Amino acid sequence: MPSLLDLTSQGDVGTISDESKLASVTLMSPQQLYELWERQNWQSHTIDFTRDRQDWASMDPALRRQLAWNLSSFFIGEERVTTQFSGLVMAYESQSEEAFLTTQQVDEARHAQHFNRFYEQVLGIEGTFEDRLARARGDLNPAFVEMFDGVLVDWGRRLVENPGDLEAKVDFVTLYHMIIEGTLALTGQWFLTDYMERMGILPGWVEGFRLISQDEHRHVAYGTWFLREKAADPALKRRIAERLAELIPLAAAVLVPPGADPNSYAILDYTMEETNTFAFNALHRRLKVIGIDLASLAAAATA
């Protein structure tokens, strides 16, 4: 099974095949990432959901329920990260960084628009954007709510209140780019896309997920660049490690479907071991680029 650890094919930190060389890989700068955004721009409202409506209508109800939980997590997640991103834009340290960060907020709004269209046109949920968000919230597990309505909001507010607070910026990027996007979102997108393609269903969803994943690899590339720059300061490197040790158990809980045994569950036809290994190995490779050892973090968290 291909892995998000394959940074050569996924392209979010550079081209590298030897893990021992990860610390010296050349990362794209914010200016280069901005220019890449211009080349990769796309429109959410041009995706055709005609076949998706047919697939959803004829789908087994049990499968619809499983997919609804996955879809709701992405729909709410994209809305949350869109609204909580302004503090990071305000905390830019160069004109190139400012330009790139504004594109990321636009990307997140576009992703939320994509899921809103899917809820309206495929699931047939009428009303407003806000009505559909409220409907999706009913599918979330408590860990998701804690991360996206609690930690993300609190850490984002610190940056809004003081954009010059470098420690707050490091915390936010660690949460947002390493955990929410690099560990949770990209993993979910890969498994869902793989499942839809194997089943031959929901082509509009697949098209949208591929484009969203393209955006989020670009976002994670920024986070990797930023954290490696700041990890040159030993105090900030320790702070990144401490925040990761704090966030990883919560991220693991976010992946558990509501009502499932947290020690033994499946997402669609993928086992807990498959999804967790995929997610946290991806994080491991990115942290190696930054200069942080995930194994040491795990040992510290269980000590």
CATH classification at residue 212: 1.10.620.20
> Lowest mean pLDDT: which of 50-64, 122-136, 225-239, 253-267?
253-267
Q: Is residue 19 in some structural domain?
A: no
**Which domain range does residue 105 map to?**
28-34+49-302
User: Does residue 3 have a pLDDT over 50?
Assistant: no
Q: Can you tell me whether residue 269 is helix, strand or coil?
A: coil
Residue 297: predicted pLDDT = 61
d(Cα 142, Cα 284) in Å, to the nearest integer?
26
Q: Is residue 16 in some structural domain?
A: no
d(Cα 139, Cα 142) in Å, to the nearest integer?
10
Other beta carbons less than 10 A from residue 43's beta carbon: 10
Q: Is residue 134 in some structural domain?
A: yes
Q: Is residue 23 in some structural domain?
A: no
32-81 residue pLDDT tens:
999 999 999 999 999 999 999 999 999 999 999 889 888 999 999 999 99
> Lowest mean pLDDT: which of 162-166, 234-238, 295-299?
295-299
Q: Is residue 39 in some structural domain?
A: no
Residue 20: predicted pLDDT = 53
Tokens of 186: 């990209």
Q: How many domains does the chain have?
A: 1
Q: Is residue 163 in some structural domain?
A: yes
- In the chain, DSSP assigns E strands to 266-267, 270-271
> If you average pLDDT over every residue of the chain, what do you get?
89
183-236 residue pLDDT tens:
999 999 999 999 999 999 999 999 999 999 999 999 999 999 999 999 999 999
Residue 258: predicted pLDDT = 82
Who has greater pLDDT, 253 or 294?
A: 253
d(Cα 102, Cα 154) in Å, to the nearest integer?
21
Q: Is residue 234 in some structural domain?
A: yes
In 150-232, alpha helices (H): 152-161, 166-173, 186-199, 203-230
Q: Predicted confidence band at 5 (pLDDT cuts at 50, 70, 90)? A: very low
Residues 6+ apart with CB under 8 A from 201: 55, 59
Q: Is residue 5 in some structural domain?
A: no
Which residue type is seen at 16? I
Element (H or E) spanning 44, and its range?
A: none
Q: Predicted confidence band at 117 (pLDDT cuts at 50, 70, 90)? A: very high
Percentage of residues in the chain having pLDDT higher than 90 = 78
Residues 6+ apart with CB under 8 A from 49: 117, 118, 121, 122, 204
